[in-house]
Amino acid sequence: MKLIQELNTRRLKRTLSSILVLASCCCPLAAKDATPSTAKTAEGNSGDTAIQLNETSAAVDHAPAKWKESKRFLAGIKLIEAGKLQEAKKLIPAEWVNKHAALIQESKPGPLLPGEWGFSQAKGDKVTLFIRNWQPGHVMQLPNTELAIINAKTKSLSGGKVKLKWAIGLEIFMDRPERDPVATVIEYTVKGDAESMHQIHVPDWRDPSINAPEEMIKKWRDLRFGLFVHWGPCSVAGQEISWTRRASKMGRLRYGGSGVNGKYKADPKYDQLYKQFNPVKFDADAWVTMAKNAGMKYIVLITKHHDGFALFDSKVSDYDIMATPYGKDIAKMLADACRKQGIKLGFYYSPRDWYDTNFGRESTHDQYNDFYMEQLRELGTNYGKIDIFWYDCLDSPQYLWKDIPERSTQMLRKLQPTMMINDRGGLRGDFDTPEQRVGGFEMERPWETCATISNGWSWNTKQATNTKSLAACLSLLINTAGRDGNLLLNLGPKADGTFEEIQVQRLAEVGKWMKQYGHTIHGTRGGPILPAKDFVSTNKGKSIYLHLLKSQMAVRIPHIDASILKATVLNGGTVSIQKNASDTLLTLEDVPSDQIDIIIELQIDKEAESLPIVQ
């Protein structure tokens, strides 16, 4: 029930905050050397750590409701640090203060600076995170810090189990995100002195200078389904892109990485494959037609993966498509084809670069940062309108990147004002990116599941026999849409530029289904009924679509805050409605057999998106 209350509260707040200009408090948010303010506090007394309350500044007014709440919370934390617990309890519930004050007072500010996300503390080899605004079922991504984490010594102080993973940042998975109403508290142990770590700024979510305009979020969500393409010289050898490059992974602190300032080693075989890369059968128009016929509304192309090879014409690199026998700008050809056929274009670009010898070393990472900024400028400038930018992880500790995440994203924002930018470039970006799994039900933060149609991101000889079934592809798409997310389904082309025949056929089968039922996916929102074990729901206008993923002949749904005017089984057959005291029973008859997804359309008497979420 908590989740539903939370979702509905957030939905209500979103409505309210668009009407009310909330009076807010704010406090000096900065690194350790913040100059304490001496402004008057609400109680009228000044002091070296006085907190400015009830100030409404332009900057603060830009902040969304949740950040204003966080400022109040952080103001209370400053009071706890100053030993002013009674004053702190005017801003933070007393029970929470009593539980956490000692820990906060006995430790120092940690490696992740305070912000909308929360704050961190450090003591010895321990880091404690106080996380706010946690999205249920979602991964919390925070910047990487420079010391590796001893995962076995990670624990939640707010109940539930927690796992940290270093993939697209410091990923924090909790089995049941405990809805501590103030902040979820997690403690982890690092290999070294946590108090000596560099302090990293954790940007807030909604920053107009960085985030896409609000209206782009709806347009992006309406797309619902896209094609991800991982391609490069690795396909000549049928090797997994980047990860099978037997070379050092500079800057990487986990999973076999060479670490910061590690020893650099190249892979003479992998790094020479580009000399054989000649995709003479590459047909950009055919790729786009294949995607469109599958019901996909956008394509995201790898322009540079961690192996450093640029699939575009880069003036700052001689390790690019122009150096291959093919010698034509693949990114440009695909951009032109997308524009010609009216499908949205996305570029993927990997900030981590294990080929570049400057990457991941304290003494040379600044040169890499310059190279990085220039390649991003090329991508943002030379290919016309780009609709989506897909960063793929900084990987090395964030302090090496300095202010590049903000600078690079602000530059892209200036070059491409309406582009949707994901959460893997060091900022929270415009949308989250759960990978190879369906994200949790989440309507406030846009999100997209990326997943492979087969056994790898790029082509290998076993792709054909590992291609997902039609049922598995549709289940991914429907379950993602039913949780209000997009699906980015990945195919890896062969070295000649064609796709595995079985995968072309699979997309055609998905397209056949989308031709008939795509209106229950495209342009819909997830809910208003939370995913259940035997169905998910999507909605559009005054219709709710129940997607029954098991071929059951009856389903019970909770009461919704609307009248059902008509119920129809889109696959054929009939449905009867029986409203009971606690739920509504829908019973099906004569539905054609072997349906992957039985869809019941409930036509109701009001806009489905206005309904409270029910379970």
Q: Which of 30, 11, 14 is nearest to 22 (CA)?
A: 14
Residue written as tokens 């700008």?
329
Cβ closer to ligand FHN: 334 or 450? 450
Q: According to CB under 6 A, which one of 372, 457, 513, 545 is a site residue for ligand FHN?
A: 457
184 to 223: interface string for ligand FHN, x by CB under 6 A: ----------------------------------------
Whether 148 and 190 have beta carbons less than 8 Å apart is answered as yes
Residue 355 near ligand FHN by CB under 6 A:
no
Residue 167 near ligand FHN by CB under 6 A:
yes
Residue 254 near ligand FHN by CB under 6 A:
no
219 to 248: interface string for ligand FHN, x by CB under 6 A: ----------------------xx------
CB of 435 to ligand FHN, least distance (A): 5
| 304 DSSP β-pair partners | 310, 349
Residue 171 near ligand FHN by CB under 6 A:
no
Residue 469: how many CA atoms within 13 Å on its side-chain side? Answer: 4
Distance of CA 343 to the CA centre of its chain: 22
- Angle value at C-alpha 155, between 130 and 436, nearest 5 degrees: 90
Whether 542 and 555 have beta carbons less than 8 Å apart is answered as no
- CA dist 53 to 75, 371, 477, 504, Å? 8, 44, 46, 60
Residue 435 near ligand FHN by CB under 6 A:
yes
CB of 167 to ligand FHN, least distance (A): 5
Four-point Cα dihedral 397, 399, 401, 403, nearest 10: 140
Residue 168 near ligand FHN by CB under 6 A:
yes
Q: According to CB under 6 A, which one of 116, 392, 448, 500 is a site residue for ligand FHN?
A: 392
Whether 128 and 185 have beta carbons less than 8 Å apart is answered as yes
Q: According to CB under 6 A, which one of 129, 250, 331, 450 is a site residue for ligand FHN?
A: 450
Cβ closer to ligand FHN: 165 or 556? 165
Number of residues in contact with ligand FHN under rule CB under 6 A: 8
> How are beta strands 344-349 and 388-391 bridged, if at all?
parallel
CB of 122 to ligand FHN, least distance (A): 27
Strand ranges, E, within 167-308: 170-174, 184-190, 225-229, 298-304
Q: Rounded to whole angstroms, how far apart are CA atoms 295 and 545?
A: 18
Strands, sheet with 170-174, edge to edge from the N-terminal-most edge strand: 140-142, 170-174, 162-166
Residue 453 near ligand FHN by CB under 6 A:
no
CB of 252 to ligand FHN, least distance (A): 10
Cβ closer to ligand FHN: 167 or 266? 167
CB of 383 to ligand FHN, least distance (A): 20
Residue 406 near ligand FHN by CB under 6 A:
no
CB of 22 to ligand FHN, least distance (A): 37
Cβ closer to ligand FHN: 220 or 349? 349
Which stretches of the chain bind ligand FHN, using CB under 6 A? 167-168, 241-242, 392, 435, 450, 457
